[in-house]
């Protein structure tokens, strides 16, 4: 599998995301959602509008990371909401009280945007709590670890890694998430098959690796490692002041992490392999081997976003 993953004909900028019983693929000009329902595959495509086209500065290196991350979160949440709506009513859970309140007090179109916006804000808030504030708080309680700025920074980084691994492990215990991770594997395999120049068939995709260097999971791990290096400049004893500085430095961390992940996805050498290795290892938890029906979803989503001009999606 490792050899196959290294010998790509070219690297595509097409990326994807696992959905509830489906796949989102995002190409250079449009994105496609393909979900499997009781009535067969349901497809939805739309033209992409990039904020960097309106504000070119957001496409600059080290700045584009934050813009891309936020844009991906919003579009990903919209796609996830769409896929959830395709689930049969008898299998859908009751909306939580906040969603019910929003749906009651706002028109349908505005309510949906508010629900998605609230989910994005809560997701970012949870990430900040787990990976920015909580590590600083925990380490701040252990006096021997606060005697040295170097030891304190490394300890906070170690706590972030532990929290990330525990979070991923807990997710793996949920049956619905296991299926989501199988679709994640189908997405990676399909992208690899396309990059290797093979016809997009279930048989060809099945043979590919499910561990891709440009995965969002790898990005999360890179963020944790880069945060240790960037936060080394913070030389404050007060725990809450450290939290504030970590928050202010987060755009720098995300910007650098995005460029590292992007560089690894474009190169095949010992350095890119070394930088990608921890993220690929983490993908043992966040991707599972898909069945053929999942691969069919991923193939169809990929076909819908491949540009007509061959090679125009090169990374």
pLDDT tens profile 16-53: 999 999 999 999 999 999 999 988 999 999 998 887 87
The HSE-up count of residue 174 (CA atoms within 13 Å, CB side) is 9
Residue at 26 is within a domain: yes
Count of domains forming the chain:
1
Residue at 139 is within a domain: yes
Is-contact 296 192, C-beta < 8 A?
no
Torsion of CA 65, 68, 71, 77, to 10 degrees: -90
Predicted TM-score of the model (pTM): 0.85
Residue at 198 is within a domain: yes
Residue at 33 is within a domain: yes
pLDDT given for residue 263 in this prediction: 86
Please choose, from the candidates 153, 143, 200, the residue with its C-alpha nearest in 3D space to the C-alpha of residue 23: 200
Domain that includes residue 124, residue range: 2-89+97-305
pLDDT given for residue 91 in this prediction: 59
Residue at 104 is within a domain: yes
pLDDT given for residue 98 in this prediction: 66
Residue at 314 is within a domain: no
Residues of the chain below pLDDT 70: 1-9, 89-96, 98-100, 105, 108-109, 111-112
Residue at 315 is within a domain: no
Q: Between 216-230 and 239-266, two packed helices, what is the crossing angle to 10 degrees? A: 130
Residue at 256 is within a domain: yes
* Whole-number Cα distances in Å, 92 to 76, 85, 86, 247, 290: 19, 8, 9, 36, 23
pLDDT in tens, 44-88: 999 988 878 788 888 888 898 898 888 888 888 889 888 988 877
**What would the two tokens of residue 235 be?**
């030389």
Is-contact 79 24, C-beta < 8 A?
yes
pLDDT given for residue 271 in this prediction: 84
């Amino acid at each position: 599998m490792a050899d196959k993953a290294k010998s790509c004909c070219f690297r595509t900028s097409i990326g994807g995301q696992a959905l509830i019983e489906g796949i989102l693929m995002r190409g250079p000009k449009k994105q496609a959602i393909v979900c499997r329902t009781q009535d067969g595959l349901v497809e939805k495509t739309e033209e992409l509008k990039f904020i960097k086209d309106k504000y070119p500065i957001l496409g600059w290196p080290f700045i584009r990371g934050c813009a891309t991350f936020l844009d991906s979160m919003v579009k990903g949440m919209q796609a996830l909401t769409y896929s959830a709506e395709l689930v049969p009513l008898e299998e859908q859970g009751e909306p939580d009280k906040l969603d019910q309140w929003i749906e009651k007090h706002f028109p349908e179109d505005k309510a949906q945007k508010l629900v998605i916006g609230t989910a994005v804000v809560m997701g970012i808030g949870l990430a900040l709590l787990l990976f920015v504030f909580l590590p600083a708080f925990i380490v701040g309680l252990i006096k021997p670890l606060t005697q040295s700025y170097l030891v304190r920074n490394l300890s906070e980084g170690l706590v972030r890694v532990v929290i990330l691994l525990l979070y991923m492990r807990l997710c793996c215990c949920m049956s619905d998430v296991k299926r989501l991770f199988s679709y994640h594997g189908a997405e990676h395999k399909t992208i690899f098959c396309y990059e290797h120049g093979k016809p997009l068939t279930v048989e060809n995709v099945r043979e590919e690796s499910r561990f891709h260097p440009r995965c969002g999971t790898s990005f999360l791990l890179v963020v944790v490692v880069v945060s240790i290096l960037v936060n080394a400049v913070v030389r404050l004893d007060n725990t809450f002041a450290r939290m504030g500085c970590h928050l202010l430095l987060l755009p720098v961390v995300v910007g650098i992490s995005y460029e590292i992940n992007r560089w690894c996805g474009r190169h095949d050498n010992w350095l890119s392999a070394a930088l990608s290795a921890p993220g690929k290892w983490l993908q043992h938890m966040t991707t599972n081997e898909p069945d053929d029906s999942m691969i069919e979803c991923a193939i169809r989503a990929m076909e819908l976003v491949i540009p007509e001009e061959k090679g125009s999606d090169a990374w």
